[in-house]
């Protein structure tokens, strides 16, 4: 072993023949040993920094690649939506349908056969066919049936409105009324009973005047009707009597067939207040106020009372529906 020199240092290296043996120790003969060791340590630190920078750059590259792939997917999806026709509120229409967004917020659809469908913001659907404009109601299931019997479905969320907007009080929370036309609403109960009502609305350039009316249709086919024409039944017998306060009480009479489910609705109509209260056979009691619903232009007080007028707007004055057919409104 070389003589000890304070300027020299100790070096360690792996055993040349057996790596499992302890490291071999020897004296470095270089007088710059410590300087060289300091350089080695600095180089090792630089190596670690470079490795960390390389790992960070690799991670940034992976994140950038993932971001670019995500943006590519979004761009492709957006381009696909641009290329796919937007038929809303319809689920689909024939290929080749021309679509125009109207200034008032409505939409116009020109079908390949030349039929024009106008969808207005008040949920009115007008079909122009053979030079005639026809107001079309939306049937059960959310279908629009054209004069040529072609049927197109609209999105359910476009139809659904709040209870207050429909002007119906007392509906269960799980019963969602839908708008089927200008001032016309429908609600279907779990037992199959369908409530349809019309609010009184004045005529305008596109629509005739509309009077108050309420239908309660049973799954078995009978219909209870309350309107200006009176209180009557279609397929069922309805008893009407005059109450002491001037209101009209009514009830559906049983038909005497024990094999058929009886839908014995009853209620009270207050013509001078424009209010109808109906106790349905399923246990629900609803209140219908004859007038504009709050979402109709110029209608109601905004609090769901449906105040309006069939002729002109008189503020909060209720719409009356005095029976024209007195035989239907007497005892």
- Residue 141 scores a pLDDT above 80: no
* Residue 90 or residue 13, greater confidence: 90
Least confident of 59-63, 109-113, 203-207: 203-207
Indicate whether 203 and 318 sit together in one domain: yes
Count of domains forming the chain: 2
Q: pLDDT band for position 249 (50/70/90)?
A: very high
Indicate whether 109 and 137 sit together in one domain: yes
Evaluate whether residue 32 is within a structural domain. Answer: no
Indicate whether 93 and 177 sit together in one domain: no
167 Cβ contact list (under 8 Å, min separation 6): 185, 197, 199, 288, 289, 291, 292, 293, 294, 300, 304, 306
The pLDDT tens digits for 190-201 are: 999 999 988 887
What is the sign of the dihedral through the CA atoms of 206, 209, 215 and 219? negative
Give the C-alpha separation, 147 to 219, whole Å: 26
Average per-residue pLDDT for the chain: 77
In the listed set 139, 159, 179, which residue is the last one of a domain according to the structure?
A: 159
The pLDDT tens digits for 18-75 are: 667 676 555 556 666 667 777 878 888 888 899 999 999 999 999 998 888 888 888 7
Evaluate whether residue 40 is within a structural domain. Answer: no
Q: What is the pLDDT of residue 207?
A: 67
Indicate whether 154 and 206 sit together in one domain: no
Q: What is the mean pLDDT of residues 122-149?
A: 83
Indicate whether 193 and 275 sit together in one domain: yes
Evaluate whether residue 276 is within a structural domain. Answer: yes
Evaluate whether residue 153 is within a structural domain. Answer: yes
Indicate whether 144 and 182 sit together in one domain: no
Cβ neighbour number for residue 92 with a 10 Å cutoff: 10
Indicate whether 173 and 154 sit together in one domain: no
- Domain ranges, residue 178: 163-328
Evaluate whether residue 305 is within a structural domain. Answer: yes
Indicate whether 135 and 173 sit together in one domain: no
Q: pLDDT band for position 299 (50/70/90)?
A: very low
**Tokens at residue 279, please?**
């106790």
144 Cβ contact list (under 8 Å, min separation 6): 90, 117, 125, 127, 136, 138, 151, 152, 153, 154
pTM of the model: 0.55
Indicate whether 102 and 195 sit together in one domain: no
Evaluate whether residue 67 is within a structural domain. Answer: no
Indicate whether 167 and 155 sit together in one domain: no
* Residue 252 or residue 325, greater confidence: 252
Evaluate whether residue 183 is within a structural domain. Answer: yes
Indicate whether 150 and 214 sit together in one domain: no
In the listed set 136, 159, 182, which residue is the last one of a domain according to the structure?
A: 159
Q: What is the pLDDT of residue 297?
A: 43
Indicate whether 267 and 146 sit together in one domain: no
Give the C-alpha separation, 246 to 269, whole Å: 9
């Amino acid at each position: 072993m070389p003589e000890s020199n304070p300027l020299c240092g100790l070096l360690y290296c792996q055993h040349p023949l057996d790596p499992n043996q302890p490291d071999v120790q020897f004296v470095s003969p270089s007088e710059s040993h410590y300087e060289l060791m300091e350089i080695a340590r600095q180089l090792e630190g630089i190596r670690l920094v470079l490795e960390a920078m390389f790992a960070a750059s690799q991670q940034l590259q992976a994140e950038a690649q993932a971001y670019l792939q995500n943006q590519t997917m979004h761009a492709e999806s957006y381009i696909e939506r641009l290329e796919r026709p937007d038929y809303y509120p319809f689920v689909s229409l024939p290929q080749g349908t021309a679509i125009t967004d109207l200034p008032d917020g409505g939409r116009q659809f020109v079908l390949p056969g030349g039929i024009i469908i106008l969808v207005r913001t008040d949920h009115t659907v007008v079909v122009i066919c053979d030079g005639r404009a026809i107001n079309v109601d939306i049937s059960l299931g959310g279908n629009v049936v054209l004069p040529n019997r072609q049927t197109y479905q609209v999105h359910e969320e476009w139809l659904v409105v709040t209870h207050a907007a429909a002007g119906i009080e007392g509906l269960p929370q799980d019963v969602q009324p839908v708008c089927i036309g200008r001032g016309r609403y429908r609600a279907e109960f779990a037992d199959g009973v369908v409530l349809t009502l019309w609010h009184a609305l004045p005529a305008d350039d596109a629509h005739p005047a509309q009077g108050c009316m309420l239908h309660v249709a049973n799954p078995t086919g009978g219909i209870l009707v309350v309107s200006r024409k009176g209180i009557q039944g279609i397929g069922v017998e309805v008893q009407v009597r005059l109450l002491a306060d001037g209101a009209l009480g009514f009830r559906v009479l049983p038909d005497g067939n024990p094999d058929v489910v009886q839908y014995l609705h009853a209620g009270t109509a207050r013509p001078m207040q424009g209010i109808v209260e109906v106790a349905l056979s399923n246990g629900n009691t609803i209140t219908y106020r004859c007038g504009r619903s709050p979402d109709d232009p110029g209608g109601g007080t905004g609090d769901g009372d449906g105040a309006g007028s069939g002729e002109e707007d008189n503020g909060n004055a209720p719409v009356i529906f005095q029976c024209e057919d007195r035989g239907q409104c007497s005892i």
